[in-house]
Amino acid sequence: MLSAARTLPQRAVRRYTVVASAAAAAAPTATLAVRVHGGARYADKDGLAHLLSRFNFQSTGDKSALRLVRESELLGGALRSSVDREYITLQATFLKESLPYYVNAIASVLYKTSFKPHELVESVGPAAAYDLAVATSDPVKVAEDALYAATYRSAGLGRPVLFDGVEQVTLDDIKQYANKVYTQENIEIFATGVEERDLKRFVGESLINTLPKGSAIKEAAAPKAFAGEVRVRAHGPNVAAVAIPAESAAQIPELQVLKAYLASPLYANADALERVAFDSFSGTHGLLSMYVKGADASAVSANIKKVVADLKAGLDIAPAKELAQVDAALAAQQSAVPVEQLALDKVAKFKLGKFAYSAVGDVTQLPYRDEL
Amino acid sequence: MPQSFTSIAKVGEYILKSPALSKICVPVAQKYVNLAGYRKLGLTFNDLIAEENPIVQTALSRLPEDESYARNYRIIRAHQTELTHHLLSKNEWVKAKDDVPYLMPYILEAEAAAKEKEELDNLEVVKK
């Protein structure tokens, strides 16, 4: 059912990576994703990557934004550009026969976006403001940003992902950043539901092949992690969150299993946790985060104290190994980009070491890090 | 239906490209500009374009800040001059080289976008 993604032999000739997996070959739809190492951690200014991501699928040299969207609608496809700390991802979902159209559409976005000044004001700015409004209305999202800031401070990963206007970003900054990250060495192309041969051919004929040469700006070394604390006073539900950094590749499987364990009924206090997430970066470092959310600040304090006490006492997480594997397989099946396979042999017991803490909401009532 | 700026710009380009036509039309145009006298009030030709429609409003909103400021200044000065039944002193008249179509590129862009939207809205899809 699930065929592993393969790397093409042509890789030496064409610098960018092209990976196709023919999973779900019978389905009529296909997904094409271009992943660019250009997320928030690589941008010199806060929010620059977010604005660039929102500039994707705007007017290009040959097509206006409106025409691109309308044509894509008529073909029955959808275009999406998203940003996170590591990547800017351009994704298209479409009927298989329109593969060449979407390869060319994404190629011209990477190569020929016009960056018109009025688009920044009229469409990109409001769209970015909308993203920020959605994110700030969710206290869990605010707590997540606070955890990253507490763990990594202002180095790369600690920077905010979304543009908030605190730091001024001009159109020239965005253009320069696009030239820096949209290079052959810095992009990876993934597709599901298409023939590998077809994909290679269409990509080879498209503008992606003539993207300028640059250098891969992928950051593989784990940044220094701090055991910090951030408290954000806000209206709405209270959130207390704990983050555990993985500072080496060896810690990643352990935290993956811990994530599966905490989210499953295997863990006695699983109901107390609103969300458990693990983000892995370059396969060498990552951050596990868990969130306790509630309207009642005293219940939130009690729950976060209980969870941290459990983690400090040590948990036998070995029973969740298979669960973690199933989670990974499921994630691999649902996403266009390959998910790293886990080596879970050595995972047995987890004991809390370094952790960062963030509290959002009525912070007078919520505990401090050293009270946990 | 009034003429679109796109079609006017197209005719203008055609005239300038043909040597015979431009030999006739350019002197007439220059005579017209002198008789119209707007340069003596400190205005440029693009200041005279009627702005009470969505296309020109879009174009105006996209003008860079300094050009927008200069345009407002010229229009206010012209109103004041007209009100007092004066012309500007001769050294303040707009020279031919300063009478540039600063607004026209924005209008043409807005018009092209509106036309494209109109076409896409009325598209008929034919299945092959």
Whether residue A74 and residue B125 make contact (CB cut-off 8 A), yes or no, is: yes
d(CA A268, CA A309): 13
Q: How far is A118 from chain B (nearest CA, A)?
A: 6
Express each pLDDT in A38-80 by its tens digit: 999 999 999 999 999 999 999 998 899 999 999 999 999 999 9
Per-residue confidence band for A25, with pLDDT thresholds at 50, 70 and 90: low
Residue A24 has pLDDT above 80, yes or no: no
A-B C-beta contacts closer than 8 Å: 16
- Burial, A118: exposed, middle or buried (Cβ in 10 Å; 0-12, 13-18, 19+)? middle
Angle, helices A125-136/A139-152, rounded to nearest 10 degrees: 90
Q: How far is A165 from chain B (nearest CA, A)?
A: 20
Inter-residue contact A260 to A320 (CB < 8 Å): yes
**Cβ-based contacts of A65 with chain B (< 8 Å):** none
Look over chain A and give the mean of its residue pLDDT values, rounded to a whole number. Answer: 87
* Contacting residues for B37 by C-beta, under 8 A, at least 6 apart: B87
DSSP per position, A245-299: EE-STTHHHHHHHHHHHHHSTTSTTGGG-SEEEEEEETTTEEEEEEEEEES-HHH
Place of tokens 């543009």: A163
- Parallel/antiparallel/unpaired status of strands A78-83 and A88-95: antiparallel
By C-alpha distance, the chain B residue nearest A71 is B120
Inter-residue contact A245 to A151 (CB < 8 Å): yes
d(CA B12, CA B7): 9
Q: How far is B28 from chain A (nearest CA, A)?
A: 37
Q: Which residues of A touch B (CB under 8 A)?
A: 64, 66-67, 70, 74, 117-118
Amino acid A337 reads: V
By C-alpha distance, the chain B residue nearest A64 is B113
Amino acid A7: pLDDT: 36
Q: How far is B32 from chain A (nearest CA, A)?
A: 34
Amino acid A353: pLDDT: 85
End-to-end CA distance of chain B: 35
Among B62, B116, B123, the residue with its CB nearest the CB of A118 is B62
**Cβ-based contacts of B64 with chain A (< 8 Å):** 117
Amino acid A342: pLDDT: 72
Mean pLDDT within A113-122: 93
**Cβ-based contacts of A66 with chain B (< 8 Å):** 113, 116-117, 120
Backbone angles phi, psi at A31, to 5 degrees: -125, 135
- Residue A88 forms beta bridges with which residues? A36, A83
The top-scoring range by mean pLDDT among A26-35, A176-185, A204-213 is: A176-185
d(CA A158, CA A40): 9
Amino acid A2: pLDDT: 38
User: Which contiguous run of DSSP H or E holds residue A17?
Assistant: strand A17-21
Inter-residue contact A158 to A151 (CB < 8 Å): yes
Residue A328 has pLDDT above 90, yes or no: no
Residue A260's nearest CA partner among A333, A322, A303 is A322
Find the range with the poorest average confidence among A113-127, A155-169, A206-220.
A206-220
**Cβ-based contacts of A64 with chain B (< 8 Å):** 113, 116
Residue A14 has pLDDT above 50, yes or no: no
End-to-end CA distance of chain A: 46
What is chain B's alpha carbon radius of gyration, rounded to the nearest angstrom? 18
Question: Which residues 104-123 of B have a C-beta within 8 angstroms of A?
Answer: 113, 116-117, 120, 123
Whether residue B113 and residue A67 make contact (CB cut-off 8 A), yes or no, is: no
ipTM above 0.95, yes or no: no
d(CA B19, CA B41): 32
Amino acid A6: pLDDT: 37
**CA dihedral (A103, A106, A110, A112) positive or negative:** positive
Residue A3 has pLDDT above 50, yes or no: no
Question: What does the DSSP 8-state code read for residue A222?
Answer: P
Domains of chain A: 16-210 (3.30.830.10), 229-371 (3.30.830.10)
Which candidate in A114, A118, A124 is best for mutational testing of the B interface (most B CBs within 10 A)? Answer: A118
Enter the tokens of residue B111. Answer: 């018009």
Which candidate in A66, A71, A73 is best for mutational testing of the B interface (most B CBs within 10 A)? Answer: A66
Q: How far is B62 from chain A (nearest CA, A)?
A: 6
By three-state DSSP, how is residue A197 classified?
helix
Residue A308 has pLDDT above 60, yes or no: yes
Provide the H-helix boundaries in B62-99. 65-83
Residue A130's nearest CA partner among A192, A210, A54, A58 is A54
By C-alpha distance, the chain B residue nearest A118 is B62
Residue A21 has pLDDT above 70, yes or no: no
d(CA A88, CA A49): 7
Amino acid B43: pLDDT: 96
Among A67, A117, A118, the residue with its CB nearest the CB of B120 is A67
Express each pLDDT in A256-294 by its tens digit: 889 989 988 888 888 889 999 998 888 888 999 999 999
**Cβ-based contacts of A74 with chain B (< 8 Å):** 123, 125
Distances (CA, A) of A172 to A52, A81, A152, A285: 11, 20, 28, 32
Distances (CA, A) of A87 to A133, A181, B124: 21, 10, 39
Residues of chain B by 3-state class (helix, strand, coil), percent to 5: 70, 0, 30
Residue A128 has pLDDT above 60, yes or no: yes
The CA angle A55-A57-A58, to the nearest 5 degrees, is: 60
Whether residue B120 and residue A117 make contact (CB cut-off 8 A), yes or no, is: no
Per-residue pLDDT 10s for chain B (128 aa) are: 468 999 999 999 999 999 999 999 999 999 999 999 999 999 999 999 999 999 999 999 999 999 999 999 999 999 999 999 999 999 999 999 999 999 999 999 999 999 999 999 998 888 87
d(CA A130, CA A162): 10
By C-alpha distance, the chain A residue nearest B59 is A118
By C-alpha distance, the chain A residue nearest B110 is A118
Amino acid B126: pLDDT: 86
Among B61, B64, B120, the residue with its CB nearest the CB of A70 is B120
d(CA B42, CA A96): 61
Whether residue B120 and residue A118 make contact (CB cut-off 8 A), yes or no, is: no
User: Which contiguous run of DSSP H or E holds residue A29?
Assistant: strand A29-36
Look over chain B and give the mean of its residue pLDDT values, rounded to a whole number. Answer: 93
d(CA A289, CA A305): 15
d(CA B108, CA A46): 35
By C-alpha distance, the chain A residue nearest B125 is A74
**Cβ-based contacts of B115 with chain A (< 8 Å):** none
Per-residue confidence band for A344, with pLDDT thresholds at 50, 70 and 90: confident
